[in-house]
Amino acid sequence: MRLFKAITILGLTLPLLGCTQSQVIGEERIAPKPLIEQIDPQTDPVRAMQAHRQQQAAELADPAVLRAEVMRLIRDTAADNVQQCLVLPLGHKPCGGPAEYVAVSIKGKDEGSLLQKISAYNQAAEADNLRKGLMSNCAVEDKPAVQLVNGKCVLVSAVTQ
């Protein structure tokens, strides 16, 4: 009888020995990845989309940090001509569309890098809105025009589309 109990206890504890809170690689301990519940989009599309959006939000950078970087990059609006001026959407309204438009000068800047940084901020702002469940007035912001005034890119009245 004792042998049966010993074998039973041993049989129950051996599988647990392989389950640890963390894995060891060399001398360094690495925490395990969290378990993620698989959600079938066919049977529960709403939960699947919510889980997808939450995962995206977790992967994106902090919107406040990205906004500060973007504002530092676009602070200088000096330009030689109006062709160096762009009107770009910045941020994201919870109902959709940009939160605002900014006048940007590309004079002496890497345009591709700047556009990527603004896009990253816009995506992070959208994910943050979704994660927090924010609401807005849902008004559509008209895209303004840009002019060169005293050597600086400046937004002017909205362009009718």
Q: What is the pLDDT of residues 105-152, one digit of tens each?
A: 999 999 999 999 999 999 999 988 888 888 888 888 889 999 999 999
Q: What is the pLDDT of residues 70-99, one digit of tens each?
A: 999 999 999 999 999 999 999 999 988 999
pLDDT at 21: 42
The residue written with tokens 């995962």 in the block is 55
Summary mean pLDDT of the chain: 79
Q: Nearest to residue 91, comparing CAs of 56, 111, 120, 48?
A: 120
d(CA 92, CA 29) in angstroms, rounded, equals: 39
Q: What is the pLDDT of residues 44-61, one digit of tens each?
A: 888 877 877 777 656 657
Q: Report the predicted TM-score, pTM, of the whole model to 2 decimal places.
A: 0.60
